Chain A
């Protein structure tokens, strides 16, 4: 099994403007994705993120000082709006799962790396 983080990008405001019926389609598509993952692997965690304008970024400062700013670390037309952390057999399975997501999404599949010698506390 391989571990992937599936990042969901969407246009800000799309969800707010969605009608009740459109929201149901979003839910159905997410359910289809989740069912696929459960059948072929497993879900580790997931989350829908608040809009990027609620983000706070902590930057490396000039010296040791860290700088705190309002907003996300990159400003793009599309923002990361949610993620799934999953285990699936391979990239083909991850692509097949991602195809089930709502059509408005751009979905990025990132393999999770194992860092040798590092153990989480």
Chain B
């Protein structure tokens, strides 16, 4: 490996641990990230000439620690006193006993995850903080993931760090009674970051699936700290199944390839197998969030295990959607369910299942897009063209719109 590759690997694998170690020691959220970023820059400059150190993570840790100490010395000289993170030592009378003592380092990383994903932080702030501090994604990449300019994202991260310190969000693990709720918040934050990678942008950058992979890493890191937590297991299965299709979703010309047309040999089958292993033996959950992740993962699994689109077990998919609609009765779920019903019972049944959705999703391009597709399948081409025109008009994404236009043009040409 070249020095650059070693550095990227150590940043990817060790960033969260290093942030956690430095925070545990100095409790200065404002200094730790900058110091570590400086240390990384120094490594990029020096390792190619000096050679890669025997323990690259330890090198970064020492370099970052030195920078924090320099800053603290400068502050002491200037007589300034900065606020510190509230940590466990001060909380001996607070929020109850620790869930379990565990290893020191793992515990620090769990504290870091919980700190970033605190319910007092807005979800998009929490997601940015967690990607930056726990998995070491650069601010530029987080900005690209969330489709905002980099200075906006930098300001969002700074604001989040300020809120944590000012509001006194603790750097600690809550009692066993409160921990499941906090881990559910972590799961929601990670899933928000994951779906951001698949939310079509308004420009040509249709998928930022490589960045969605960073959210998968956030789930993995957290699950490694709490391996039996159902919400994290169900979420890992779900994101792995969705993410396994990333390469097949985009055609050679950058166009969107829909599920039935995807080259299934390009799916990441190792990820599918891992997800199926996680799902296997996961019983239905009473908790609506866990159950909603589990059911969506089951739907993903039905697609992932069908050798061809024609082999899809639509009965299984429809049953899972019915259950999902009971747990989470949202118009988006009903729309997806209508598509599955059309596959199981035919286009007319699908069209009937769309009834009422226009009122609930009045600006969505997906309802008319699905209606247009189903009408076309039963030869009602004129009506299909009208529906597709509405969809094209509403669609904000270039690649998706091109796909809809091609479908409509195929109907008018025939």
Min Cβ gap B119→A in Å is 8
Contact with A along B254-291 (1 / 0, CB 8 A): 00000000000000000000000000000000000000
Q: Which residues of B contact A93 (CB under 8 A)?
A: 91, 94-95
Q: Which of A2, A4, A89, A94 has the most CB of B within 10 A?
A: A89
Contact with A along B117-129 (1 / 0, CB 8 A): 0101000000000
Interface size on A, residues (CB 8 A): 20
Q: Which residues of A contact B120 (CB under 8 A)?
A: 91, 95
Q: Decide: B168 and A111 in contact? CB cutoff 8 A.
A: yes
Q: Decide: A90 and B166 in contact? CB cutoff 8 A.
A: no
From residue 280 to 312 of chain B, which have CB atoms closer than 8 A to chain A?
Answer: none
From residue 64 to 121 of chain A, which have CB atoms closer than 8 A to chain B?
Answer: 88-96, 109, 111, 113-114, 116
Main SS of chain A's interface residues?
mixed
Contact with A along B77-109 (1 / 0, CB 8 A): 000110100100011011100000000000000
Min Cβ gap A2→B in Å is 4
B167 within 8 A of partner (CB): yes
Min Cβ gap B293→A in Å is 25
Min Cβ gap A93→B in Å is 5
From residue 137 to 186 of chain B, which have CB atoms closer than 8 A to chain A?
Answer: 166-170, 172, 174, 178
* Alpha-carbon distance A113/B95, docked complex (angstroms): 23
Q: Which residues of B contact A94 (CB under 8 A)?
A: 168
Q: Decide: A40 and B168 in contact? CB cutoff 8 A.
A: no
Q: Decide: B93 and A40 in contact? CB cutoff 8 A.
A: yes
Min Cβ gap B326→A in Å is 28
Q: Decide: B166 and A89 in contact? CB cutoff 8 A.
A: no
Min Cβ gap A87→B in Å is 11
Q: Decide: A96 and B168 in contact? CB cutoff 8 A.
A: no
Q: Which residues of B contact A48 (CB under 8 A)?
A: none
Picked from A1, A111, A114, the residue with its CB within 8 Å of the CB of B167 is: A111
- In the complex where A92-B174, A116-B80 touch, is A2 in contact with B93 (Cβ < 8 A)? no
Q: Decide: A92 and B95 in contact? CB cutoff 8 A.
A: yes
Q: Decide: B168 and A90 in contact? CB cutoff 8 A.
A: yes
Picked from B80, B81, B83, B169, the residue with its CB within 8 Å of the CB of A90 is: B169
Q: Decide: A90 and B93 in contact? CB cutoff 8 A.
A: no
Q: Decide: B170 and A92 in contact? CB cutoff 8 A.
A: yes
Q: Decide: B95 and A2 in contact? CB cutoff 8 A.
A: no
Q: Which residues of A contact B95 (CB under 8 A)?
A: 89-90, 92-93, 96
Q: Which residues of A contact B168 (CB under 8 A)?
A: 2, 4, 89-91, 94, 111
Q: Which of A4, A93, A109, A116 has the most CB of B within 10 A?
A: A93
Q: Which residues of A contact B86 (CB under 8 A)?
A: 2, 89-91
* Alpha-carbon distance A119/B170, docked complex (angstroms): 28
Q: Decide: B170 and A89 in contact? CB cutoff 8 A.
A: yes
Question: Whose C-beta in chain B lies nearest to the C-beta of A88?
Answer: B94
Q: Which residues of B contact A40 (CB under 8 A)?
A: 93-94
Picked from B80, B81, B83, B94, the residue with its CB within 8 Å of the CB of A89 is: B94
Q: Which of B118, B168, B178 has the most CB of A within 10 A?
A: B168
| Chain B residues proximal to chain A, CB less than 8 Å | 80-81, 83, 86, 90-91, 93-95, 118, 120, 166-170, 172, 174, 178
What are 5 of the A-B contact pairs (CB < 8 Å)? A89-B94, A90-B91, A90-B170, A92-B170, A93-B91
15 further A-B contacts with Cβ under 8 Å, apart from A89-B90, A89-B91, are: A2-B168, A40-B94, A88-B94, A89-B94, A91-B118, A91-B167, A92-B94, A92-B169, A93-B91, A94-B168, A95-B120, A111-B167, A111-B168, A113-B166, A116-B80
Q: Which 9 A-B pairs have the closest CB atoms?
A: A89-B94, A90-B170, A2-B168, A90-B86, A90-B168, A91-B168, A93-B94, A89-B91, A92-B95
